[in-house]
Amino acid sequence: MNNKDSASIDRREFLYRAGLGAAMLNVAPESQAQGAGGLAPPKKINVAGIGVGSQGGSDVDNVAAEGANIVALCDVDFKYAAKAFEKYPQAKPFKDYRVMFEEMGDEIDAVVIGTPDHTHAVIAMEAMKRGKHVYCEKPLAHTVHEARALMAAARKYKVVTQLGNQGHSFPTIRRLCEWVWAGAVGQVHTIHAGSGDFREVYNQTRNLDKVDQHYDTPPELDYDLWLGPAQFQAYTPFWVHWNWRGWLRYGTGTIGDWFCHVIDPSFWALDLGAPTSILAETTDYDPAKQGLTYPSGTKITFEFPAKKERGPVKLVWHDGSNPIPTPEGFPEDARVPGTGAILIGDKGMIVHGSHGAGGCRLVPDKLLERYSGSNTPAETIPRVKGHHWDWLEAIRTGREAGSNFGYGGRLTQVALLGAIAIRFPGETLLWDDHAMRFTNNKAANAYIKPAYRKGWRL
């Protein structure tokens, strides 16, 4: 970082203090938010994209569409990410995010991260240490320790953060919260949720006998950087680009991929926090034989203790070959979602699809009549223009973004606890959230903070 560049320091300090203001003021209401110290907010925020071959590329497009300057792009595979590099020819290209940060210094205000799950934490941490605001794809991290460390760092470095669960900024999730808070379905005691999508990628049992063979690493891929902090495994095409989702070392399975979308509405509406117990049941799965990949189907039961006005909540996650069941009393004309959730209260149910409670509906219909039209609960949660807009606007105005790491980290943690439980099918794991450990399973605790490869640290 060039500390003598006073023009860029002024600009960077403004952005930094904007974040500081949000933290200190505990988030001003949107209408009152303004630039720190009365300074006019900068017109453009300089953003670097890291991991832009697929979802990260669309995040870059989204922030560019909201007025951000794309000043740098970083990807370990220029071929896979070629589209993004072609689209933003003015952006400086990099393979190594550490080199990018060193060379670009204060030219970068903020980053969007779209790398596989196992490298989110090291990259987001490096960015925050350098005072950059961060938009990081979901799930926030690969391990519980990483998620907690990122949450703490966001507070420490006072940067504006956003998890990439874009549905958090949709109007439907806000409507769902307002229904729950208005008592539309009474006390919610059970949630059935999950996803049956993309099954072939999460369970890679069919490829287990191929991953020991030799494959040449493609010349365009910096595989060492792709691995990042993960322990070394020789290259195979089965690990990288999209496929990483199905391998425990790099991805987080169906639950890691979908939980932050599908459970976000319940997590927000019911302030779920942390579970006290987690029980995974798996289909056709022997961790001793198939333990490199995720099961073809799981059912994971989380118990959340009573909190404030609400009672205890049981959340049952269903995925892959194990679809969401039809709950007792479910109306015949309603459809159980393939990916989505059913919140069951003592007066009725809410059914919704994935991102941001898409297609959310009250059942039975008489409830919908009672809580729609002129009886729709007041919009107590402000509506926002979009998720990327929300993050950029938070940077510009010195407030926190909606799914900041404090929120998104807690949401991610639940998914990661589920991913650990999959390694111990049939065993109820008891979780002490304060101590950040399981109280009844030493072996499971080893997955809270697995060792990084030599040379890597958070």
Q: Which residues bind ligand NAD (CB under 6 A)?
A: 50-56, 74-77, 80-81, 97, 114-117, 119, 137-138, 164, 166, 225-226, 228, 241-242, 257
**Cβ contacts of 206 within 8 Å, gap of 6 or more:** none
Q: How far is the CB of 116 from ligand NAD (least distance, A)?
A: 5
Q: How far is the CB of 60 from ligand NAD (least distance, A)?
A: 11
Pick 17 or 241: Cβ nearer ligand NAD:
241
Give the CB-nearest residue to ligand NAD.
53
Q: How far is the CB of 245 from ligand NAD (least distance, A)?
A: 7
Pick 8 or 195: Cβ nearer ligand NAD:
195
- d(Cα 63, Cα 45) in Å, to the nearest integer? 9
The torsion angles phi and psi of 317, rounded to 5 degrees, stand at -95, 130
Residues 23/401, Cβ–Cβ less than 8 Å: no
90 three-state secondary structure: coil
Pick 240 or 350: Cβ nearer ligand NAD:
240
The torsion angles phi and psi of 134, rounded to 5 degrees, stand at -130, 130
- d(Cα 75, Cα 51) in Å, to the nearest integer? 5
Pick 50 or 176: Cβ nearer ligand NAD:
50
Residues 257/245, Cβ–Cβ less than 8 Å: yes
Q: How far is the CB of 241 from ligand NAD (least distance, A)?
A: 4
Pick 92 or 314: Cβ nearer ligand NAD:
92
Pick 277 or 298: Cβ nearer ligand NAD:
298
Pick 229 or 348: Cβ nearer ligand NAD:
229
- d(Cα 240, Cα 260) in Å, to the nearest integer? 22
Residues 1/130, Cβ–Cβ less than 8 Å: yes
The torsion angles phi and psi of 375, rounded to 5 degrees, stand at -95, 10
Q: How far is the CB of 301 from ligand NAD (least distance, A)?
A: 24
Pick 56 or 194: Cβ nearer ligand NAD:
56
Q: How far is the CB of 26 from ligand NAD (least distance, A)?
A: 27
By the 10 Å C-beta count (0-12 exposed, 13-18 middle, 19+ buried), 191 is classed as buried
- d(Cα 348, Cα 232) in Å, to the nearest integer? 51
Q: Tokens for 227? A: 């691995």
- d(Cα 29, Cα 385) in Å, to the nearest integer? 15
Q: How far is the CB of 93 from ligand NAD (least distance, A)?
A: 11
Query: Which residues in 51-119 belong to E strands, given as ranges?
Result: 69-74, 92-94, 110-113
